[in-house]
Amino acid sequence: MSKNVQLALISRSYCHLCHDMEVALTPLLGEFSASLAVVDVDADEALLARYDELVPVLLHGDTELCHYHLDEEKVRAYLTAHA
């Protein structure tokens, strides 16, 4: 039985890399029945302090999967192991 993996994309509205990563994730989300929460880094002081210059950052819980650009191979392997 597979479980729905909830990923979080730490993002900001004016960041083209953030938008690019969200778009690139779409096929993987469908393939693995994963869901994505897009979180505005600028709306949370703790997230801003931790991830400000790293956005976009893709997380599963506290596990950082990648930042700046989607590492499709790494994310695919992670989702395979956790689905």
Domains of the chain: 6-81 (3.40.30.10)
Q: What does pTM read for this prediction?
A: 0.94
Amino acid, single-letter form, for residue 6: Q
Query: H-helix or E-strand containing 48?
Result: helix 45-51
- Residue 2 banded pLDDT, cuts 50, 70, 90: low
pLDDT per residue over 39-68, tens digit each? 999 999 999 999 999 999 999 999 999 999
Q: Which residue has the tokens 């400000």?
A: 52
Report the C-alpha gap between 57 and 66 in whole angstroms.
Answer: 6
3 phi/psi in degrees, rounded to 5: -115, 150
Cα separation, 83 vs 72, in Å, equals 16
